[in-house]
Structure 1
């Protein structure tokens, strides 16, 4: 998972702040953490944060102190692993983020849902179906892991 910029974090915060009150609730934070492969209980988040919601600055501080720190420490452990295996495992984790119903495939709806929720999708940039079609080698309208890998590595399958 790449380090996110301040602007990326602002967009994600805005998408998570569903009611526009300037706060992200623990349940919304728990949802996004679960989607990106950081598993923790909602109760553990409440205990750790000692509150039930975060404003933008608290959200960014939480990211920097918790998530980015975990990414950095995981990176140190990974140095001993084979690069190819680490890349494969990263792709598997990324695939799980997009496979919302855990059926082993990514539909255009799942792709658009995750990209939208993270603030990385704009309706004006096109349709997720056409993005999937470019890498859908068996023309079933879904991406399996190998097709997803080809898309993420920007190669033709």
Structure 2
């Protein structure tokens, strides 16, 4: 993520501070946010969010950091969501009967279809793998247990 230096932020702040009083008003901040397309809310909503009608330079830096962090958190959430969707698709490959659980037989069949099951492996091997990740000891993997198995396999 591109982040501005303090000196760049100071220049932006100075340009926004049209009357030179060392403070940026909500109007001036709204102008900037609308201009760069980051924030689309009303002035009264922004004032409620900030808890004040003007920002000094330190407040401006904190506001900038909160926007950067919000964008970073959104990007991280988007990546997590994509990963979760991929895991759900993979889960469906293993959940052959669609009951929301993966049995040792389904696990073995799916791995065989994917060419990942060695002929030397037995059904007992599949049961052992299921049991390692079966945290509720019901003999099956639900999505959460499958997710933990896949996350462990990644590391």
TM bin, normalised by shorter chain, reads 0.3 to 0.5
Larger RCO (alpha carbons 8 Å, 6+ apart): 1
Larger radius of gyration: 2
- TM-score normalized by structure 1? 0.47
- TM-score normalized by structure 2? 0.47
Higher helix content, 1 or 2: 2
